[in-house]
Amino acid sequence: MNLIILAAGSGKRLYPLTKDRPKSLLDMGDGSTLLDRQIQKAIESESVNKVYIVVGYLQELIDQAMSPYRDQIEIELIYNPYFDVSNAMLSLWCAHYVLEDDDFFISNGDNIYKINLFDQMSSATREGIKLAVSFKKSYDEDDMKVVLGDDHSILQVSKTVALTEAAADSVGLLMVKGSRQRAEFRQALLEAAKDREYFSAFWQQVFDFVVAKGQTIQPYEVSHGDWAEIDFHPDVELMRNALFANLPSAEQN
């Protein structure tokens, strides 16, 4: 399977930490970065054969940071020339040409995984579309909120979902397996990219088009302790503390 990591944004909400580096290259306090840890998980995985990283902001630094890993796993960078005027939907669109080649994962570049979700999700199904989600007692406005149908399938994923309708929080990790599923997901992405309303959308909003085509997206539950993301300044310190308290060090990976 391919792993597509979306890491093109400038991380403006974390400025000045991101003044001289992409968010995915923020030091976690032990010399490793968010991107280091995702690549390590991909290398350890039995499911991932190749990594595509969609880059934009200070892309040359990500290119340099990947040098030590290129003899362990195949890595290809895809440049998003619209990174400073768009959002992750367009970053994913830049990688649309690889979506039919092989089954794939899509992962946010600011995520970190304690466990190897790639293998766990891959072994959970032979074909289908699965979105990793976490269930919480309550949700806030900045959560990437998930709406579930009566059959527990995913109907919508967006930060604009009303808090009263939120049933889960998107982890920012998707798996697509099966030639038909890959083709239909790619077609939905191409249609979304043509709609100006989605030009600055998060990539999860391509599900609006996937669901409209009658495709089923199933949730894959991930516990809160097994993943984290960085969006705001407090997240950096929280993640660093969590890494040293709970997560394995880069040397152990």
DSSP 73-127: SEEEEEE-TTTTTS-HHHHHHHTGGGTTTS-EEEEETTEEESS-HHHHHHHH-SS
Predicted confidence at residue 14, as pLDDT, reads: 80
Is residue 29 predicted with pLDDT exceeding 90?
no
**252 in a domain, yes or no?**
no
Going by pLDDT thresholds of 50, 70 and 90, the confidence category of residue 18 is confident
* Averaged pLDDT for residues 68-83: 97
- pLDDT exceeds cutoff 90 at 64: yes
Say if residue 181's pLDDT is above 50: yes
Angle between helices 117-124 and 34-44 (to 10 degrees): 50
Which one is predicted more confidently, 43 or 12?
A: 43
Stretch 53-65: mean pLDDT: 98
Residue 29 carries which DSSP code? S
pTM across the whole model: 0.91
**What backbone torsions phi and psi does residue 20 show, to the nearest 5 degrees?**
-120, 15
Percent of the chain with pLDDT over 70: 91
Could you tell me if residue 99 is inside a domain?
Answer: yes
Mean pLDDT, all residues of the chain: 90
Predicted confidence at residue 121, as pLDDT, reads 97
CA gap 19, 10 in Å, rounded: 8
Query: How many alpha carbons lie under 13 Å from residue 143 in its C-beta half-sphere?
Result: 22
Residue 159 in any domain: the answer is yes
Number of domains composing the chain: 1
Q: Is 251 inside a domain boundary?
A: no
CB 171 within 8 A of CB 134: yes
250 burial via Cβ count (<10 Å: 0-12, 13-18, 19+) = middle
Write the CATH number for 143: 3.90.550.10
Q: 216: which residues sit within 8 A by CB, 6+ positions away?
A: 128, 129, 153
In a domain, 250, yes or no: no
Average pLDDT over residues 18-33: 88
Mean local confidence (pLDDT), 168-189: 96
Residue 93 covered by a domain:
yes
pLDDT at 69: 98
Of 2-16, 72-86, 88-102, 163-177, least confident by mean pLDDT is 2-16
In whole angstroms, give the CA distance from residue 157 to residue 168. Answer: 9
Instruction: Supply the range of the domain harboring residue 65.
Output: 2-245
Read off the pLDDT of residues 237-252 as tens digits, 9 standing for 90 and up: 555 555 545 444 333 3
